[in-house]
Amino acid sequence: MPPARPARSCRSPRTPRCCPRLPSPLKGHDVSAIVLPLRIPDTVTPLGDWLPEVKDDLTLVTSGDAEPGYRRQLPHVLATSSYSTGPEVEDLLDDLCGAGGVRTLVHVTEDDILRCARVRDRHGLPGLRYEQALPWRDKLIMKGIVSGHGVPTPRYLRPASFAEAERFARRVGYPVVVKPRLGYASMGVGLVGDADELRRAAEAWDPDDVMLESFTQGDVLHIDGFMHDGEVLYVQASRYLNNCLSFHDALPLGSVQLDRDGEEHARLARFAERVVAALPPVDFSPFHLEVFRKPGAGDLEFCEIACRLGGAHIMEALTYATGVNPARLWIRHQIGLQNGPETPLADTGRRYGWLLVPPRRGRLVRVSEPPPVEFIKDFIVKTAVPRDFDGAHGSTDSYLAFVVDGASEHEVESNLRKCIDIAAECSEWEGADV
């Protein structure tokens, strides 16, 4: 008999369940040996093409929006109306795994890491378990472990009361970062500039899912790669253009891969090795690490890390740079179709970058094709047109994206800045914020 299922909430796994259980859609569904929850659309992760050997023995659990595309590729698809919120996905995974016959439960995105780990625990399935996974998801636990191993981190606090939060803010100085412990894509992250703003933030935050951090001036970099059993196998360091909070000001978020033969890339790779070694070892997995680089001497400070592939268009940039799609490799490794640690990741010699253009407040009327320039590898319109928007709500919210290449990181940055102008020329908006 599987272990008892812990109480959980629509908002947090720490509080009692608040949603009634919905009827299971499994009636008449044959149980597959492989279960894969994934909300990413088939245009990004074409599982039918990636997994031809096992697609008849795989059940995909996905969102209602992504369901039609996958039904054209896979014979067994189950959809839920609230993929990223509420208990429906975990209930469905429990039903599938509890029916017997499931040997592999695959996870891919941040919102599936903990619920898949809980389901594996309850049903005795191999793979990442909850005790291993939690320090890679809960930023409070994560920072405690990493700082305990001597890695520089911002000062941080889980506030037990507003008074404690206010004392912390006075001690470290405003602005202060407020973030959910279990968040991703910078959703729910904000800067508060004074005590009044802090009080307003405290009225809205979930006391079980909040932490405060001192604000770090400087650049933000991200380090992406693969790890296995506490060892970094491959690493690519990149620098953000703007930062993950730029969407608050309707500014694009971009990223430039650093030149791999430079000392800065080597220094960031060593930093990644320290962080990965500090946290619980996991089987072959991508990681996405964010790091602050302070002004002046350029000291590095830990921001956060995840045991999954980075978002935005990191997948595409790494695919171009290495010749291997990291998402495809990771999924195939989890299923047993490919040996991840033994798969070589080459360097094509060119650098790549991406740009996310956030929506404005207003009506997007038209998006036209960009001019035929060689450095644009991908031009991605991410929405139906026309459409009304009320702005961006997370770092990866965008209506338009570019993936570009260049001979060096400086050329990639120059090309991305050209794409900002190209995006403005290609887009026609109506509304007050135009």
Q: What is the pLDDT of residues 11-20, one digit of tens each?
A: 334 333 444 4
CATH 3.20.20.70 fits 34-127, yes or no: no
pLDDT digits (tens, 9 = 90+) for 145-162: 999 999 999 999 999 999
Q: How far apart are CA 374 and CA 363, in angstroms?
A: 30
> In this predicted structure, what is the pLDDT of residue 17?
43
Q: 290 forms bridges with which residues in the sheet? A: 222, 304
CATH 3.30.1490.20 fits 155-214, yes or no: yes
- Per domain, the residue ranges of the chain are 34-127, 155-214, 219-430
Tally Cβ neighbours within 10 Å of residue 340: 19
Q: Who's near 345: CB < 8 A, 6+ residues apart?
A: 226, 233, 234, 322, 323, 324
Instruction: Report which residue type is found at 430.
Output: E
Q: Helix (H, G, I), strand (E, B), or coil: what is residue 308?
A: coil
Q: How many residues does the chain have?
A: 434
- Give long-range contacts, CB 8 A cutoff, 24+ apart: 337-344: 337/51, 337/53, 337/54, 340/226, 340/228, 340/284, 341/226, 341/228, 341/233, 341/284
> In this predicted structure, what is the pLDDT of residue 21?
54
> In this predicted structure, what is the pLDDT of residue 27?
55
Q: Could you give phi then psi for residue 268, rounded to 5 degrees?
A: -70, -35
Q: How far apart are CA 358 and CA 250, in angstroms?
A: 6
Residue with tokens 């001192």: 214
> In this predicted structure, what is the pLDDT of residue 250?
76
Q: Do domains 155-214 and 219-430 have the same CATH topology?
A: no
> In this predicted structure, what is the pLDDT of residue 248?
59
Q: Which residues of the chain have pLDDT under 50?
A: 1-20, 22
- pTM beyond 0.85: yes
Q: How far apart are CA 287 and CA 269, in angstroms?
A: 12
Tell me how far CA of residue 423 lies from CA of 381, 399, 412, in angstroms.
10, 10, 16
Burial of residue 128 (number of CB atoms within 10 Å: 0-12, 13-18, 19+): buried
The CATH number corresponding to 219-430 among 3.40.50.620, 3.30.70.890, 3.30.470.20, 3.40.50.300 equals: 3.30.470.20
> In this predicted structure, what is the pLDDT of residue 10?
33
Tell me how far CA of residue 400 lies from CA of 59, 364, 369, 403, 422, in angstroms.
31, 11, 11, 11, 11
> In this predicted structure, what is the pLDDT of residue 234?
98
Q: How far apart are CA 205 and CA 163, in angstroms?
A: 14
Residue with tokens 């369940």: 17
